[in-house]
Each structure stands twice: as structure tokens, then as C-alpha cells.
Amino acid sequence: MRAHARARRTLITVGTAVGAAALLLSGCAQDPEGKPEPGASADGKGKTTLTVGVFGAFGLQEAGLYDDYMAQNPGVRIEQTSIERNENYYPQLLTHLGTGSGLADIQAVEVNNIAEITATQADKLVDLGRAPGVDKAAYLPWKWAQGTAKNGSTVALGTDIGPQGICYRKDLFAAAGLPTDRAAVGALWAGDWGKYLEAGKAYKAKAGDGKAFVDSASGVMAAVTGSSAQRFYDEQGKVVYKANPAVRGAFDLAASFATEGLSAKLQQFTPAWDQGFSNGTFATVSCPAWMLGYIQDKAGPAGKDKWDVAAAPKPSNWGGSFLVVPKAGKRAEEAAKLAAWLTAPEQQAKLFEKRGSFPSASGAYRLPAVSGARHAYFGGAPIGEIFARAAEGVPVTVIGPKDLVIAQNLADIGMLQVDQKGRSPQEGWDAAVKAIDNALDQ
Amino acid sequence: MSPSAAGSRQPAAEGGGRGQVWRSRRYRWDLRWSPYAFVAPFFLFFAAFGLFPLLYTGWAALHQVELTDPSAMTWVGLKNFTRLWEDEFFWNALRNTVTIGLLSTVPQLAVALGLAHVLNYRLRGSAFFRVAVLTPYATSVAAATLVFVLLFGRDYGMVNWALSAVGFDAVDWQNGTFASQLAVSTIVIWRWTGYNALIYLAAMQAVPGELYESAALDGASRWQQFRHVTVPALRPTIFFTCVVSTIGATQLFGEPLLFNGGAGATGGSDHQFQTLGLYLYEQGWVNLHLGRASAIAWAMFLILLLIAGAARLLRGRGDAR
């Protein structure tokens, strides 16, 4: 989700100047060094330059993967351009694909945009399913399906995913008489999001007023919708969110957190939300794997040994990304090789180890870097085990081209009105539907 | 061409030499065409980066175009414009733009005028103060807005902290309709007041000192001097700043976008501070409807032309008086 990109953005807190410079760079990154022919640069240092275009602090570079690849392939040099926010990155990627210029050899795509990419841009992208070194069996089936277009070509290889757990404050749980052991906490709500609400009510009864159970109602909604196979579109590609009980149910359940007074009424990825972590304003937050580092950053050293992570009521996914290789690139073959390498289980495991992005290649779950992973900040929680179990339970979600727009309006218009303005769930739903209708109407 | 050519042939013929004829002709051409050559670069750039996009946007506004495939355009005529009549989000954005524009422009110019008047006195270290009022203008919109978001925070913001210190209730600055618009206006006021003050100050220093002297002789107080000497002398400047501020207010974008924390171009959960600029951005770059976004852009352009026409009429009447 967009929040994914946002999380990464805020994690690294790139200055405005750097952001502007990145924009500039990516604007003129089509032909780095002006190398004339693909791989034919036998002159000078004789290196093929491959460019990778990403949004936010994507992590590939930070985890040292480019350096590894360059060490193994002395003939290759990798350059990365980054645009801080996916909101700015994605429209630019579309225009570049449309004109066939200005593209990097490899481009990142966010999960909420992937359906639009596979539906409308597949003919402009290399079929990576047939690229050398790509092993379909190594990926989670649902992630592989998301990157595959209708004509059967796999144009996008998955990088990370966002299996969710519930992060909770042990000290606040203890004060409210709830269990603090992560197995017992997970058992409180296992199998049913409704039980999560019940736990919240029990928490509030003991903790008293002014103590919130969750950070925001929209965070709950994202987690609940992330656990259902069908959300906003049906298999035929028709928009069905209005009539889909899974969506309406998630909306109403999340809204009850607001109406029952269990929500801290914060908006995720805002400064106020960050302050909520450091001030212990709320006791739980549904946390995809990539959010753990964020929480650690914001809650700071004072939160150490207070936070822990338990399994979510149902396996659910929030966020994740892909890599694509545009055909217009001059070094498409080399780029496909690099993309396959970057998304192979070993590299995804390293990305998880260094950056906390959870692998979409299930082959990585057996590697010790993942299976044995523990998070010191979260009381030594076995995060590799918790999130791998969640990842394998996530249903094959039907995603549609405008998932992002629908999810965004449901959260930022509908749920926010209920949570922060005190509107009724019905009013919030109606406002969101109106905004979505307007957004989808061409 | 003929009158000047005829006029200058005479002396050249008197001089007799052919070289002189040539030289004077070259001189004439130089005089006539060089200015065009000097201004040409601007107009070439304007044609490439101003006029062409403007016209192309107008062309796109008559089509259904999606950013996913900008080359596929379907002709829809004026549909993108006519639908704006029924588009409540458009009217809401227009209303917000006007309200925020007024909330920011009026106090901004009033304060700037007062500030300029004070700076116009003989002050110790006046250069320092003049630079100081300009510093907000030099900060980036993004940086300023992010700081104001913190100041206007609901739970831990400094403004609410100050309000509660004097016994008021905390205000939810982001969610209240008026509160959020006021907060966005504050950012604009903070950034642009000093800039306008310096423009006023420059104009004030061109007011002849004798006017003040004679006014003082007539027994006019400082305030009366300000009202009856300074303000009338500044009328063209005030008009200029009004026009510039109005254009700025119509295009208001960065402040409301960043004031919205993470939610992007919605302008708050109730679209309570979504300006026309934000709505255009939302249609074009979030919803990817380039045709609709182009229509909004042209509607904004037409609105500005209307305002300019109205201002001209008003000004014409004012001059006639």
C-alpha cells in the first residue's frame, strides 16, 4: 500500500534537497554516461551500466545487494535513482512507459499499482517468467500471480511483502490485566477479527478513559481487508467493493473501534502518529513486517522491552513491491538477469536481515537468516517464524487496477470521518463511495 | 516602414557616399530588429514551455485521456467542462480556494502595509529588519508547512498548548472546516507578508518627502499622514500586490497538500481544505484522468481571466473618480 512507501520514506527521512535532487536525477537518467550500445562498451573501463529506478528508501542499495552483484559481475555497474514518494514516482513511471523514454533498466512497482501495470503496460515489459535464473517455485503463489498478466507473461518479480502481526505494549496490557506472553496474546483473538474488538473492549474497561487500544480505525480496516481473498474487484475485473460483504464488514468492524472509543483517532504516517508511539498513546497496532523498524524508530529506546509482536487474528498482507524491466531499455537482457538475481531467495533473505522487508520468495523462509530471525527490540520475538506463518496463510487476493484509489478513499475519507470527525459509519461509508465514484469515473 | 525610410533617405543622399547609405541602413535595421532578437529567447522558451502546454492542455480537456496511456485520446467535446457544473468536489474546491484566498490575502496585505510603514521610519538597524521580514519568503513551502503541521497538531501541537494555557479548548486544526482553512492561511500569511511589505516599502520611499512636510505643517498626525498621503500614493502598488496575491491564492497547492499529513491530495477527510490546485492534482496524478484535470486547469485559467477583467473594470471606475 501507499503506506508502505510512506513508511520507507519516513524511515530514512530524506531531506527536501535530496528529494529534489533525486527528482532531477531520475528526470534525466535515461542514458547514464551516454553509453551508446547495449553491453558494447568495450572501451575505457568496459562496464555495462544498469540503472534501477525506485521510490523511497527501497532497501536494495542499503542492504548492499548492488555491491554484491557488482563484485560477482565485474563488467556491470549499477546506478540507482530514487523518488521519495510513490505518489510522484508512479505517474512519472507511467508517462515514461507511455513515451518509451526516460526509463531506468529496472523499475520498482508498488503492490497497489501492480494490477494496473500488468493490465495496461504488459506489452511494454519484458516477460521475466522466462528470464534465466528465475524459479517460479521459489515464490509465494499469490505473489507470483499478482505479477502475471492476462496473456500469461510474468512481467513483474516480487520483492518483499507485508504479512501482518499485531504489535502490542506489554506494560499497558499488564496494567489492564491482559496476558503479556505473545502466544497467550495471539490466542486472545486467534481466528477472528471480532475477538480483537472484544479484547479492545476488555482493555478499555480496565484501563479506563483516555487509553486507546488501537492507533487508528483505518489501520484496523487495512489489516482486515488484507485478510480476504476478494476485496474491491471480482475475478472478472469488475468493481464490487460496494456490494462485497468482506469490505463492508471490514469497514463496519473498524468503525466500531472508533465508535466504541477504542481508537486514538490518529492518522497513520503523520507526525501525530509518530508522537503517539513515543508517548504510548495506544496499546496495539496491526503491523506488517516492514513496520517494525518504523515503530522502533519512533518509540525510541524508551520503548525497548515494552513492545512485542503477536500473530494477527487472520493471516493478512499489507504492502509489498515488484521489479519490472521495460522493453524500451537498451540493456533489457542484462537487466532481466539482475532483476532475477535481486529477487532470488538468498537476496530477499539478506534484504530481510538488513532492512526488515519480508521476503516474497518462500524459498527464503528456510534460510537461517529468516527462520531464525528474532527482533531484539520486540522482546526477542521470533519474527521470521511469526511472519512466515502469516505469509503462507495469506489468500490469493484478487487485485484490480484501481485498488489504491479505492483503499485510499475508504481510509482517508470514509474511515477518517468516522474516526476523527465523529460521523456515523454510514455517513463515512457514503462519503467514501461518493469520492470513489468520482475518482473511478473517467 | 515607408515614412521613416523616406525621412532618412534625404540626409544619406546629401552625404553622397554609398558606404554611408549602407551604414545608415544597417543602423536603421539594427534599431528596428535588434530588440526583437533580444526578446526572442524569452518568447521561444515561452512558446515551448508556456504556450504549447497551455494549448495542448486545452486540447486534452476536450478528450478522455488516461495517464496509463496518454497517447490514446477519445474525443468527448465539452463533456469535461459541462460535468464540472455538477461536480460538487469542484465547487467545494472553488469555495475553499476563495475562502482560503480571502483569509490569507486580506490580513497579509494589511499587515504588510503596516509593517512597511513602520520600516519606513528611521530605525536603528533598519537593514537588519528589512532582511528579517523577507526570511520567511526564502524558506521552502515544504519546510514551512511541515513545521506548521507540528505547531497545529491536535494532541501535542504548540498552538493548542498555548490556547489551553489561556483557558481555551484544544482545536482539531486539521478536521475543522474553518479551523483547517485558517491554519492553511496562516502558513501563506507567514510566508508572504514580508515579501509584500518590502514591495510597499520600496513604493513608500518614492513618495516625495515634501508631501509629508506640508501635511505635517497642516497639523496632520502620523496616522492621518499614512491615510491621506501614503495610501493614495501607494494605490498602483497595492493594486499590483492584490493581483499577484490573487493569482497566488488561486494556485494555492503546496501548503494544503502538505498540511494533510499523509493523505495526499484529498484536502482532509471532508475535502475541507481541498483547493482547486489540489483537486486538479488529485484528478490528474492520483486518479490519472488527464482530460478531466486539463478541464479543471482551464477552468482555473478562465476564473483568473474573469477576476482580472473585474479588477480592470473596478480600477477603471476608480481612476475615473
Reported as a single tens digit per residue, the pLDDT across A259-318 is: 999 999 998 888 889 889 988 899 999 999 989 988 998 999 988 889 999 999 999 999
> Which chain B residue has the Cα nearest residue A124?
B69
Please give the angle made by the CA atoms of A272, B253 and A275, to the nearest 5 degrees. Answer: 5
Rounded CA separation A412/B270 (Å): 9
Which of B68, B89, B260, B266 best tests the A interface by mutation, with the highest count of A CBs <10 A?
B68
DSSP 3-state of A93 = helix
CB atoms within 10 A of CB B151: 16
B146 contacts in chain A (CB < 8 Å)? 271
Query: Which cell is A321 given?
Result: 513491491
Considering CB atoms only, which of B66, B143, B174 is closest to A442? B66
Q: Which of A40-44, A196-200, A289-293, A327-331 has the lowest mean pLDDT?
A: A40-44
pLDDT for position A34: 40
Which residues of chain B are under the pLDDT cut of 50? 1-13
pLDDT for position B78: 95
> Which chain A residue has the Cα nearest residue B72?
A98
Q: How sure is the predictor about A194, in pLDDT bands with cuts at 50, 70 and 90?
A: very high
Percent of chain A predicted with pLDDT > 70? 90
Which of A438, A440, A441 best tests the B interface by mutation, with the highest count of B CBs <10 A?
A438
Residue (of A357, A355, A370) closest to A62 by Cα position: A355
A118-172 pLDDT, tens digit each: 999 999 999 999 888 898 998 888 899 999 998 999 999 999 999 999 999 999 9
Task: Outline where DSSP puts E strands in A67-171.
Answer: 76-83, 106-110, 156-169
b (16+ CB within 10 A) / e for B228-252: ebbeeebeebbeebbbebbebbbbb
**Cβ pair A399, A410 in contact under 8 A:** no
A248, exposed or middle or buried, with CB in 10 Å at 0-12, 13-18, 19+? middle
Q: Helices in B218-275 by DSSP H: which ranges?
A: 222-225, 231-233, 235-250, 254-259
pLDDT for position B263: 65
Q: Which of A5-9, A249-253, B229-233 has the lowest mean pLDDT?
A: A5-9
**Cβ pair B94, B230 in contact under 8 A:** no
Q: What is the pTM of this model?
A: 0.84
Q: Which of A16-25, A381-390, B45-54, B62-71 has the lowest mean pLDDT?
A: A16-25
pLDDT for position B318: 61
Query: Which cell is A100 given?
Result: 518509451
Q: What is the mean pLDDT of residues A89-98?
A: 92
ipTM computed for the complex: 0.82
| pLDDT of residue A46 exceeding 80 | no
Cβ-defined contact of B262 to A16 (cutoff 8 Å): no
Percent of chain A predicted with pLDDT > 90? 69
Residues in chain A: 442
Cβ-defined contact of B68 to A94 (cutoff 8 Å): yes
- CA distances, A218 to each of A387, B194, B218, B295, B321 (Å): 21, 41, 69, 33, 60
**Cβ pair A262, A213 in contact under 8 A:** yes
Cβ-defined contact of B140 to A3 (cutoff 8 Å): no
pLDDT for position B120: 86
The CATH number of A16-162+319-393 is which of 3.30.2020.10, 3.30.360.10, 3.40.190.10, 3.40.50.300? Answer: 3.40.190.10
Name the β-bridge partners of B224. none
Q: Would you give the DSSP letter of residue B139?
A: S
**Cβ pair A417, B269 in contact under 8 A:** yes
The CATH number of A163-317+395-439 is which of 3.30.2130.30, 3.40.47.10, 3.40.190.10, 3.30.200.20? Answer: 3.40.190.10
Q: What is the mean pLDDT of residues A251-255?
A: 97
DSSP 3-state of A159 = strand
Domain ranges of chain A: 16-162+319-393, 163-317+395-439
